Chain A
Amino acid sequence: MVDDDAREAVGDYKAGWHDPENSTIRFDAGLSEKVVRDISELKNEPEWMTDIRVKAFKHFDERPMPTWGNMSMLEEIDFESICYYLRSSKATENDWEDVPEDIRNTFDRLGIPDAEQKWLSGVTAQYESEAVYHSIREDLEKQGVIFLDMDSGLREHEELVKKWFCSVVPYSDNKFSALNTAVWSGGSFIYVPKGVHVELPVQAYFRINAKNMGQFERTLIIADEGSSIHYVEGCTAPTYSTDSLHSAVVELIALPGAHIRYSTVQNWSANVYNLVTKRGVAHEKAKIEWVDGNIGSKLTMKYPSVILKGEGSHAEVISVAYSGAGQHQDAGAKIHHLASNTTSKILSKSISKDGGRGSYRGQVTVSKKAENCKLNVVCDALILDENSRSDTYPTMEVANPTARCEHEASVSKVSDNQLFYLMSRGHSEEEALALIVNGFFEPFTRELPMEYAVELNKLMALEMEGSIG
Chain B
Amino acid sequence: MSDTSELLKIQDLYACIGEISILKGINLEIKPGEIHAIMGRNGSGKTTTANIIMGHPDYEVEKGIVELNGKDLLEMETWERAREGVFLSFQYPQSVPGLQVGNFLRKSVAAILGEEAAKGKEFRNKLKESMKELDIPSSFLGRYVNDGFSGGEKKRFEILQLMLMKPKLAILDETDSGLDIDGIRTVAKGINAAIRGTDSGALIITHYSRILEHVKPDKIHVLISGKIVKTGGPELALELEEKGYDWLEEDSEN
Interface residues of A (CB under 8 A from B): 415-418, 420-429, 431-432, 435-436, 438-443
Q: Are A441 and B96 in contact (CB under 8 A)?
A: no
A435→B82 contact, CB < 8 A:
no
Residue total for B at the interface (Cβ-Cβ under 8 A): 32
At the interface, yes or no: B54 with Cβ under 8 Å from chain A?
yes
A428, B79: Cβ atoms closer than 8 Å: yes
**Contact for B99 among A423, A426, A429, A438, CB less than 8 A:** A438
Let me know if A439 and B97 touch, CB within 8 A. Answer: yes
Report chain B residues within 8 Å CB of A417: 92, 94
Q: Could you pull out 7 A-B pairs where Cβ atoms are within 8 angstroms?
A: A420-B56, A420-B78, A426-B79, A427-B111, A432-B79, A435-B104, A438-B98
**B58 lies within 8 A of A418 (CB):** no
User: Judging by beta carbons under 8 Å apart, are B98 and A431 in contact?
Assistant: no
CA separation between A129 and B83, bound complex, in Å? 51
Contacting pair A427 B94 (CB below 8 A) = no
Contact B82 A423 (CB under 8 A): yes
Q: Given known contacts A416-B58, A439-B98, is B104 in contact with A421 (CB within 8 Å)?
A: no
Closest to B109 in A: A426
Residue of chain B at shortest CB distance from A416: B57
On whether the beta carbons of A425 and B90 are closer than 8 Å, the reply is no
Residue positions of B touching A, CB distance < 8 A:
54-58, 77-79, 81-83, 87-88, 90, 92-100, 104, 107-108, 111-112, 144-145, 161, 165
The answer, among B56, B83, B95, B98, for a CB contact under 8 Å with A426, is B83
Contact A431:B111 (CB < 8 A) given known A416-B57, A421-B94:
yes
A residues near B90, Cβ cutoff 8 Å = 421, 424
B169 to chain A, nearest CB (A): 12
Q: Which residues of A contact B57 (CB under 8 A)?
A: 416, 420
Query: What residues of chain A lie closer than 8 Å to B79, measured between beta carbons?
Result: 423-424, 426-429, 431-432
A433 to chain B, nearest CB (A): 11
Most buried by A among B55, B77, B78, B97: B78
A420 CA to B98 CA in the complex, in Å?
Answer: 18
Q: Which residues of A contact B54 (CB under 8 A)?
A: 420, 424
Q: Distance in Å from the Cβ of A316 to the closest Cβ of chain B?
A: 19
Given contacts A416-B57, A421-B90, A431-B111, contact A443 B78 (CB under 8 A): no
Q: How far is the CA of A179 from the CA of B208 in the complex (A)?
A: 73
> Which residues of chain B are near A440, meaning CB under 8 Å?
97-98
- Cross-interface CB contact of B107 among A416, A418, A427, cutoff 8 Å: A427
Q: Which residue of A lies closest to B99 (CB)?
A: A439
Chain B: CB-nearest residue to A443: B98
B102 to chain A, nearest CB (A): 13
Give the chain B neighbours of A427 by CB distance below 8 A.
Answer: 79, 107-108, 111
Contact A436 B78 (CB under 8 A): no
Minimum distance in angstroms from B185 CB to a CB of chain A: 26
CB pair B77 A435 closer than 8 Å: no
**Which chain B residues lie closer than 8 Å to A432 at the CB level?**
79
- In the complex, are the beta carbons of A435 and B99 less than 8 A apart? yes
Interface contact A441-B82, CB-CB below 8 Å: no
Partner of A415, one of B56, B77, B94, B97: B94
Nearest B-chain residue to A412, judged by Cβ: B97
Q: Is the CB of A426 within 8 A of B112?
A: yes
Q: Distance (Å) between the CB of A76 and the closest chain B CB? A: 36
Cβ contact within 8 Å between B144 and A425: no
> Given the complex, which residues of B lie within 8 Å of A416, measured CB to CB?
57-58
Pair A424/B98 contact, Cβ less than 8 Å: no
Within 8 Å CB of B161, what residues of A?
A: 425
A219 nearest CB across to chain B (Å): 31
Does the CB pair B98–A442 fall under 8 Å? Answer: yes
Hey, which chain B residues are within 8 Å of A431, CB to CB?
Answer: 79, 111
Could you tell me the distance in whole angstroms from the C-beta of B148 to the nearest C-beta in chain A? 14
In the bound assembly, the distance between CA atoms of A440 and B98 in angstroms comes to: 6
- Which of the listed residues B79, B92, B107 has the most CB atoms from chain A within 10 Å of its own CB? B79
Do A424 and B99 touch across chains, with their CB atoms under 8 A apart? Answer: no
B202 to chain A, nearest CB (A): 16
CA distance A432 to B79 in the complex (A): 10
A-B pairs, 4 with minimum CB distance: A439-B98, A426-B111, A442-B98, A439-B99
Known: A423-B78, A428-B79, A436-B99. 6 other contacts (CB 8 A): A420-B57, A424-B90, A425-B104, A425-B112, A428-B77, A436-B96
Decide: B96 and A435 in contact? CB cutoff 8 A. yes
Q: Which residues of A contact B104 (CB under 8 A)?
A: 425, 435
Which A residues are CB-close (under 8 A) to B93? 421
Q: Which of the residues B77, B96, B111 comes within 8 Å of A418, measured between beta carbons?
A: B96
How far apart are the CA atoms of A418 and B99 in the complex, in Å?
12
Shortest CB-to-CB span from A263 to chain B, Å, is 19
- Taking CB atoms, residues of chain B closer than 8 Å to A436 are 96, 99
Report B17 CB to chain A, min CB distance, Å.
13
Q: Which residues of A contact B111 (CB under 8 A)?
A: 425-427, 431
Q: Which residue of A lies closest to B161 (CB)?
A: A425
Q: B208 → chain A, closest Cβ, in Å? A: 24
Q: Which A residue sits closest to B146, measured CB to CB?
A: A421
Contacts of B95 in A (CB 8 A): 418
* Residues from chain B with Cβ under 8 Å of A441 in the complex: 98
Residue of A nearest to B57 (CB): A416
The residue in chain B whose Cβ has the minimal distance to the Cβ of A437 is B98
Cβ–Cβ < 8 Å partners of A426 in chain B = 79, 82-83, 108, 111-112, 165
Point out the residues of chain B lying under 8 angstroms from A435, CB to CB.
Answer: 96, 99, 104, 107
- By a CB distance below 8 angstroms, the chain A residues around B165 are 425-426
- What is the bound-complex CA distance between A33 and B21, given in angstroms? 76
Complexed CA–CA distance, A420 and B51 (Å): 10
Could you say which of A423, A438, A439, A442 contacts B77, with CB atoms under 8 Å apart?
A423
Contacting pair A424 B107 (CB below 8 A): no
Query: What distance in Å separates the Cβ of A324 from its nearest Cβ neighbour in chain B?
Result: 20
